[in-house]
Amino acid sequence: MANKLDKTVKKVTKPVGDIGKEVINGVGNVAKEAVGGTLNVGKEAIKTGYNVGKETLNTGKNVGKALKDSIKK
């Protein structure tokens, strides 16, 4: 009787262990995707910030040049 009970317990506990493993792997994958996504967002934000800065500098130079040219006339 004890041997039969032991086999039944093993059958029940193995699937529970497998489910736990899948949940942990799933969470790991979600975390990995979140980190990957965050890096891409950060990269885009830095790139956008750089482009805005570049445009602002160029606009400032162009306005300054236009002002200087109009004063000469």
Distance CA 68, CA 51 (A): 25
Instruction: Report which secondary-structure segment, H or E, holds 73.
Output: none
With a cut of 60, say whether residue 71 has pLDDT above it: yes
What is the pTM for the complete model shown?
0.20
pLDDT, tens digit, 9 for 90 and up, residues 1-41 = 566 666 665 665 555 556 566 665 666 666 666 666 656 66
Q: How many residues belong to the chain? A: 73
What pLDDT, on a 0 to 100 scale, did the predictor assign at position 69? 72
- Residue 30 confidence (pLDDT): 64
The model's pLDDT over 39-48, given as tens digits with 9 standing for 90+, comes to 666 666 666 6
Q: How many helices (H) and strands (E) does the chain have?
A: 1, 0
What mean pLDDT do residues 51-67 have?
66
The domain limits of the chain are: 43-73
